[in-house]
Structure 1
Amino acid sequence: MLNKVILIGRLTQNPELRYTPSGMQVATFTLALNRIYNNRQGEKVEDTTFIDIVVWQKIAESCAKYLSKGSLVAVDGRLQSRSYDDKQGIRRKVVEVVANDVRFLNSAKDSRGSVASGNKIAEDEHFASEISFNEEDIPF
Structure 2
Amino acid sequence: MNSCILMAEIIKEPELRFTPDGLEVTEMLVQFSGLRESEPAANLKVVGWGNMAKEIQQHYHVGDRVLLEGRLGMHTIDRPEGFKEKRAELTVQKIYPLVANLNMTGSSRTTAPITTPPQKAVSSYEPPLSTPTPTTSNVGVASQNNYSEPVPQVSKPERSSYPPVAPNPEPDVDDIPF
How many residues are paired up?
126
Larger Rg: 2
- One-letter amino acid of the counterpart of residue 68, structure 1: H
Greater helix content: 1
Seen in structure 2, the aligned counterparts of structure 1 residues 108 and 27 have a Cα distance that, compared at 3 Å, is: farther
Out of 76, 84, 93, the position equivalent to 1:83 is 76
CA displacement 1:70-129 (0-9 Å, x = unmatched):
0111100111112233456643322111111111223369xx9615554xx46x22x245
Q: Does 1:66 align with 2:59?
A: yes
Q: Distance in 2 between matches of 1:138 and 1:15?
A: 33
Out of 93, 96, 118, the position equivalent to 1:103 is 96
The two structures have a TM-score, normalised by structure 2, of 0.59
Out of 93, 107, 125, the position equivalent to 1:114 is 107
The answer on whether the counterparts of 1:105 and 1:129 sit within 8 Å (CA) in structure 2 is no
Q: Distance in 2 between matches of 1:133 and 1:57?
A: 28
**Ranges in structure 1 where 5+ consecutive residues have no aligned partner:** 38-43
Q: What's the Cα RMSD here?
A: 2.9
The two structures have a TM-score, normalised by structure 1, of 0.73
Q: Distance in 1 between matches of 2:28 and 2:61?
A: 10
Q: Does 1:132 align with 2:106?
A: no
Question: Larger relative CO (CA 8 A, sep 6+): 1 or 2?
Answer: 1
The answer on whether the counterparts of 2:11 and 2:63 sit within 8 Å (CA) in structure 1 is yes
Greater strand content: 1
Seen in structure 2, the aligned counterparts of structure 1 residues 35 and 92 have a Cα distance that, compared at 3 Å, is: closer
Q: Could you tell me which residue of structure 1 aligns to residue 132 of structure 2?
A: none
**Ranges in structure 2 where 5+ consecutive residues have no aligned partner:** 129-178
Q: Distance in 2 between matches of 1:75 and 1:128?
A: 14
